[in-house]
Amino acid sequence: MNMMEWTQAMSVGSITIDNQHKQLIALINKLGEAMQQGRGNDVMNEVLSELTDYTIKHFRYEESIFSASRYPHSELHKQKHTVLVDQVKSIRAKMESGQSAVSTSTFNFLKDWVSEHIIKTDMTYSSYI
């Protein structure tokens, strides 16, 4: 299983936001490591809970920066945040209800949405902050 790695290409130019992105990546990797050790189901609820809570906190911080920086696409960006949080909450609810088990596709989805959001969506505000 390929773990995520933060690279300088992911930097948005804010130490605080870059560190928050690194924390999100660490949470994804925590799940991947547990899966490699055969403990994915044991930690999935914990990781999804942490990921949901931390993502909400991170998005709130980003959105506060949008206001201060006059980022012109803030409403669209906020909508993307809402969709991402809803997707993670949906995965979490399915796991908690036993409708779904941890899988490589779940891990890859989480990994991809974090990297896609940082590299594509977040880079659109980097020149404004």
Q: Give me the percent of the chain exceeding a pLDDT of 90.
A: 48
C-alpha pair distances (Å), 24 with each of 43, 68, 91: 16, 24, 16
How many residues are given for the chain? 129
The pLDDT, as a whole number, for residue 58 is: 93
Report d(CA 62, CA 74) in Å as an integer: 10
Secondary structure of 52-104 in the HEC alphabet? HHHHHHHHHHHHHHHHHHCCCCHHHHHHHHHHHHHHHHHHHHHHHCCCCCCCH
Q: Give me the percent of the chain exceeding a pLDDT of 70.
A: 97
The pLDDT, as a whole number, for residue 21 is: 95
The pLDDT, as a whole number, for residue 42 is: 75
Average pLDDT, the chain: 88
The predicted-structure confidence for 31-90, as pLDDT tens digits, reads as follows: 888 888 888 777 877 888 888 899 899 999 999 999 889 999 999 999 999 998 898 888
If one counts every other C-beta atom within 10 angstroms of the C-beta of residue 125, the result is 21
Give Cβ neighbours of residue 33 (< 8 Å, ≥ 6 apart): 3
The pLDDT, as a whole number, for residue 35 is: 83
User: Domains of the chain, with CATH numbers?
Assistant: 15-128 (1.20.120.50)
